[in-house]
Structure 1
Amino acid sequence: MMRRDLIKLAGGLPLLTGVANAQPGSQPFQRVRPGDSGWPSEARWQVLNERVGGRLSAVRSPLDACKGGDRAACDALFASFKNPYFIRDNVALTQTTGWADAWVSQPSTYAVAARNAGDVAAAVDFARENRLRLVVRGGGHSYLGASSAPDSLLIWTRPMDSLAIHDAFVAQGCSDAPQPAVSLGAGNVWLRAYAAVTKTGRYVQGGGCCTVNVAGLVQGGGFGSFSKQFGLAGASLLEAEIVTADGQVRIANACTHPDLFWALKGGGGGSFGVITRVTLKTHDLPNFLGGAFGAIQAHSDDAYRRLIARFVAFYRERLFNPHWGETVRFNRNNLFEISMVFQGLDQTTAAATWKPFLDWVAASPTDYTIAAPFMALAAPAHFFWDVSFLKKNLPQVIIADDRPSAPDDAVFWASNLGEAGWYLHDYESIWLSQGLLAEDSQSRLTEALFQASRHWSLQLHFNKGLAGAPAEALAAARETPMNPDVVDAFALVIASASSAPAFAGVPGHEPDLARARREATAVAAVLTQMRTVAPNSGTYVAESGYFQKDWQRAYWGDNYGRLQTVKKKYDPDGLFFAHHGVGSEEWSADGFTRLT
């Protein structure tokens, strides 16, 4: 009997694994939605609920409060969108509310608040057996919309917040020398990880934004403020516990499932399985961590061009090393902004580093005005993520979760406020090769930066390129799936445009699409200009354009073929789907229909 005849006889039973690869002439594999004949009955959902200990829930959006006409309640809800902890604790929401002409944040139909790998495995099995669209959400920070999908079952890793410090960790099945490490449940945020590890006199490489979840950042490769010294978060991965598409709980490390382990160190989140726990190596904690801030206003285009040229040369001379990270911004109004961090330097040394540049500016008072006084601040490193210390000594750099029941240590950097609940108009990035810092190339880089700033503001994120990092960090990055361009890049250019949290159909809070499209055009012009000096450069998957062209090469370069092999081995039927994730070219844009 033909296989398709057996399927017909099965009637309403779920399609068997492998039907995704349909026979020629047959209907393509289609995931089911509510209302479809194959959608699970209430009785089947109840079975799943029992398997996960009552942690399955029907998702209800808080935006429903806006449908009743209570404008005050709706406005209060949108004010809460500026609190990333409020968003983190609501399974229906994501940290980005949408992207113009790309995607909108929409809640799943059901969600499992997973507390352990067994809960995750039960949800994975249920989704596979019932042909459901599956979504994985930790902190919900995906700019590309991977944390959200309507008509889906969502696995919410928020409750998995275990944390264990290891003085002598050896990965399962390995015989390497023991080393200091930290194991983190997938639901942890980086603030908690930093605070715990630094109290032991160690450092773990994670993300700069403290409310980002650990597992997603690691799978994207993961840059943090101090990556110029400590490298990628993904490169620090020693072991992961992961549930794969067959519902198996696996340990992946250099000795067990090494191919999967490699893919998890930068192959993109939501493509290979659901990570439930990561173990990351820890590093010696520097004596000091700090920041340098200021702004300079140029009085003419010519003066601004000369200011950019001087900074490019100064960066190459004094800042192109493992000590310095984070950003400078070039604005359309000829304003140059400094917002950098440093490690391993005391405050006096950090300030002295900038003196030649500031003296150069001061020597031309008719051309430049100090728009914001330059400051270099440093503190013993163990205070950097100490909430009590920050509240007492630097309250202006943090914002607290303002809900009545919020814990005292729930804070986030004030500089990340704009990203909370934002609605993106566009967000683009590209790496710049260290060759552009050579004396004979600096003029080309200067002109590209100047011309780009005529269209829209842009930033150089120095910690998101590893050129200038120690040899150990570079070698570790080469053992990840990330585009090899990252090792040669001294910075990542980012240009973006956004507005306040917005949703179509909510009066007073709808996106201004006309404005969004104008600004997206300006952002695109910035990247077009920067590609004149970096025509074939790749970019960082977690901070890139929704409509990224040639995304396979841009994100992973020659590593993409190897990632595809891992994907087909551990997820042959494409249960795990993410926009521009490995294998996503085989699916419709919404992840519901198999194309090949």
Structure 2
Amino acid sequence: MNRRELLKAALAIPFLPGGMTGAIGSAWAAGSRLSSRVRPGQAGWPSLAQWDELNHAVGGRLLKLESPFSASKAACDEALKHLKNPFFIGDQPALTQTSGWADAWLSRCSTYAVAADSVADVAAVVHFAARHRLRLVIKGGGHSYQGTSNAPDSLLIWTRHMKAITLHDAFVGQGCEGWQAPQAAVSVQSGAIWIDVYDAVTRQNGRYVQGGGCTTVGVAGLIQSGGFGSFSKAFGTAASGLIEAEVVTADGEVRIANACTNPELFWGIKGGGGGSLGVVTRLTLRTHGLPEFAGAVFGEIKAVSDAAYRTLIAKAISFYQSELFNPHWGEQLRFRGDNVLQVSMLFQGLNQQQAQAIWQPFVDWVRANNDYSFVKPVQVLALPAQHMWDAEYFRQHVPGAMIPDDRDGAPRNHVLWSDDQGQVGWFIHGFKSAWLPASLLHADRQAQLVDAIFACTRQWDVEFHFNKGLAGAPPEAIAAALDTAIHPQVVDAFALAIIAGNGAPAYPGMPGANPDLPNARKASAAIGRAMEALLKVAPNAAAYVSESDYFQRDWQQAFWGANYPRLAAVKRKYDPDGLFFVHHGVGSEGWSADGFTRRP
């Protein structure tokens, strides 16, 4: 901690419950059990003088929040202008990337926020929230589908401005000197988004770091949820690449967590879900040698009949099992209800000729059969992997594949994949996920899988995200994933099936926002029936915490399985009073749905 941060930490001391600065298990943990939190206007809500003290402690970065849609006309017009720009939305502490979920939650802003720019700022806010029994929310990228990065009547720790990135040639975790080999790594503050990390690690330095597929996702949230990117089948989960983290725990202490120091906290952060165990302020991630080439395969194929479509599904599954079920391939096949197979696959470690040769027999089979037509031709594209997230390269060679931040003065590298723009501001109708075991690809089970996929598509489209299942990955990636808190089913799954539906942005107060709830409920019911059809061949499938049903039953088992008791023990050790709360997060079963009242 530098001199400036020490001074700010000293200013925060008055906010400590009883002035305690020691470790867990001291007077802080021995105090009265937190039974409820306070809202504005209730007894115990901080006075204006107390808010001013907090503002002083954090260097004037306390913000009184108001949605731009209910602020001035100019603010509202600006928000409407950039409604589909995730970089703009990420820069608004009052907004989240998802505008809400039918019958679940809406994107309503916190009462106050601190635009933290250091770990000392974060510690000051944690002390203040604990002392005054406030509902605390943490937001970096703000991508949570579950609404965990917003809550009305709360105090928000907004880490957006904490985005420093530092590369290391030979990193060793604190306390691990002497037995942990130095590793190439990158340290990233928790407010960074993946496009900036990829730009620093890959474009500028020719290395690879396992992050997320969507470029505007926050680094800290992805790591804590487990984290998958397009090439996870080769490099594993993002969480398993974590070497060390800096975390502010519920007692306001700044802790280092790695395999040698606070190892249980370190394990819990790796896939235990964001916002439950502490505030992550910095992460150090392993980097890898970069493949020479990466690329993509896109196309759409339509069948003339249901029978022909079932045959097409069977061919696609057989082709995947024999040719694509390996570390080179990731991303998606989408089986649509209009009898269309949509191909959106990415690859690494192959050149264009090699990838083309792999796909050619499948393409030839389609062309030779009059039951099929190409809605969009199957195209294979490859590029030097160092340009995979190179905005200027894509502007020159593949215009339209990436969409820039359209604001004046925006960084030139701030781009997102065009396919991801549909998620910006979306209002979710329903969302379900399930890990599908690799045993379904065995020859004697493929027919059952094909029948289940076809039955599923009679209700709703289904996407198979192959990079979000680690079956077929190298042994070292499997072993590393098993040393994280994510559900163990991930290592036996060949894909994560996702079935979802959404409507247009519907932020509260937004002009024209009028979500069609009857239609949303109808869609949600159909999504449920589709998943039921698919799960007939995988009845015990687990779900991925970051991409799952808000109303998930038995969520502890579904998200973490046998790892949940261990996670609960980490929670009890580092947050015994339950300061940190998120929907379906570790320990949340002890609180009301809004996180304000402890259940008996």
1:347-403 CA distances to partner (integer Å, 9 max, x unpaired)?
A: 1110110111111111112x0011101111011110111111111111210111111
Matched letter for residue 196 of structure 1 = A
From 151, 154, 157, give the equivalent of 2:153: 151
1:220-272 CA distances to partner (integer Å, 9 max, x unpaired)?
A: 01000100000000000000000000000000000000000000100000000
1:131 and 2:133 correspond: yes
Asked if structure 1 preserves the Cα contact closer than 8 Å seen for 2:17 and 2:28, the reply is no
In 2, Cα distance between equivalents of 1:425 and 1:592: 26
Stretches of structure 1 that go unaligned for 5 or more consecutive residues are 1-12, 23-27
Shift of 1:503: 3.3
From 473, 493, 496, give the equivalent of 2:477: 473
1:55 and 2:61 correspond: yes
1:181-226 CA distances to partner (integer Å, 9 max, x unpaired)?
A: 0000111111111111113221000000000010110000100010
1:278 and 2:276 correspond: no
Cross-structure match for 1:571: 575
Name the SS for the 1:277 alignment partner.
strand
Cross-structure match for 2:548: 544
1:305 and 2:307 correspond: no
In 2, Cα distance between equivalents of 1:503 and 1:286: 42
Distance 1:345 1:92, change over 3 A: same
Cross-structure match for 2:564: 560
Cross-structure match for 1:448: 452
Cross-structure match for 1:7: none
1:120 and 2:125 correspond: no
From 215, 222, 230, give the equivalent of 1:225: 230
Shift of 1:78: 3.0
1:31 and 2:21 correspond: no
From 474, 482, 486, give the equivalent of 2:486: 482
Shift of 1:80: 1.6
Name the SS for the 2:359 alignment partner.
helix
Matched letter for residue 303 of structure 1 = A
Matched letter for residue 267 of structure 1 = G
Shift of 1:506: 4.5
Cross-structure match for 2:259: 254
Name the SS for the 1:279 alignment partner.
strand
Cross-structure match for 1:193: 197
1:404-434 CA distances to partner (integer Å, 9 max, x unpaired)?
A: 2312221111010000011100111001000
Cross-structure match for 1:3: none
Asked if structure 1 preserves the Cα contact closer than 8 Å seen for 2:208 and 2:288, the reply is yes
In 1, Cα distance between equivalents of 2:214 and 2:512: 29
Name the SS for the 2:205 alignment partner.
coil
From 346, 349, 353, give the equivalent of 2:358: 353
Report the TM-score, using the length of structure 2 for normalisation. Answer: 0.94
In 2, Cα distance between equivalents of 1:343 and 1:158: 31
Name the SS for the 2:217 alignment partner.
coil
1:131-168 CA distances to partner (integer Å, 9 max, x unpaired)?
A: 00000000100000000000000000101111110000
Write the mapping of 1:350-499 to structure 2, written as runs, cut at 5 A. Answer: 350-365=355-370, 367-499=371-503
In 2, Cα distance between equivalents of 1:482 and 1:364: 43
In 2, Cα distance between equivalents of 1:340 and 1:227: 13
Cross-structure match for 2:5: none
Asked if structure 2 preserves the Cα contact closer than 8 Å seen for 1:140 and 1:147, the reply is yes
In 1, Cα distance between equivalents of 2:79 and 2:181: 51
Asked if structure 1 preserves the Cα contact closer than 8 Å seen for 2:98 and 2:423, the reply is yes
Matched letter for residue 55 of structure 2 = N
In 1, Cα distance between equivalents of 2:328 and 2:62: 47
1:31-55 CA distances to partner (integer Å, 9 max, x unpaired)?
A: 0000001100000000000100111
Matched letter for residue 525 of structure 2 = T
Asked if structure 2 preserves the Cα contact closer than 8 Å seen for 1:17 and 1:128, the reply is no
1:337 and 2:342 correspond: yes
Cross-structure match for 1:86: 88
Name the SS for the 2:560 alignment partner.
helix
Cross-structure match for 1:171: 173
Of 400-409 and 424-433, deviating more is 400-409
Give aligned pairs, total.
574
Distance 1:233 1:73, change over 3 A: closer
Distance 1:554 1:20, change over 3 A: farther
From 227, 242, 248, give the equivalent of 2:247: 242
In 1, Cα distance between equivalents of 2:550 and 2:484: 23
In 2, Cα distance between equivalents of 1:58 and 1:19: 33
In 1, Cα distance between equivalents of 2:504 and 2:510: 13
Name the SS for the 1:63 alignment partner.
coil
Shift of 1:539: 1.2
Name the SS for the 2:255 alignment partner.
strand
In 1, Cα distance between equivalents of 2:374 and 2:181: 52
Report the TM-score, using the length of structure 1 for normalisation. Answer: 0.94
Distance 1:156 1:504, change over 3 A: closer
Name the SS for the 2:70 alignment partner.
helix
Identity %: 57
Distance 1:76 1:457, change over 3 A: farther
In 2, Cα distance between equivalents of 1:14 and 1:254: 30
Shift of 1:171: 0.4
From 94, 97, 100, give the equivalent of 1:95: 97
Write the mapping of 1:286-325 to structure 2, written as runs, cut at 5 A. Answer: 286-325=291-330
Cross-structure match for 2:12: none
Q: Which segments of structure 1 move beyond 4 Å, counting only runs of 4 or more?
A: 13-22, 72-76, 504-507
In 2, Cα distance between equivalents of 1:134 and 1:521: 33
In 2, Cα distance between equivalents of 1:262 and 1:129: 28
In 2, Cα distance between equivalents of 1:254 and 1:119: 26
Cross-structure match for 2:8: none
Shift of 1:491: 0.2
Name the SS for the 2:527 alignment partner.
helix
Name the SS for the 1:395 alignment partner.
coil
Distance 1:41 1:162, change over 3 A: same
Matched letter for residue 571 of structure 2 = K
Asked if structure 2 preserves the Cα contact closer than 8 Å seen for 1:504 and 1:511, the reply is no
1:530 and 2:531 correspond: no
Shift of 1:20: 8.7
In 2, Cα distance between equivalents of 1:349 and 1:559: 40
In 1, Cα distance between equivalents of 2:260 and 2:69: 47
Asked if structure 2 preserves the Cα contact closer than 8 Å seen for 1:100 and 1:516, the reply is yes
In 2, Cα distance between equivalents of 1:547 and 1:52: 37
Name the SS for the 1:64 alignment partner.
coil
Shift of 1:17: 5.3
Asked if structure 1 preserves the Cα contact closer than 8 Å seen for 2:239 and 2:270, the reply is yes
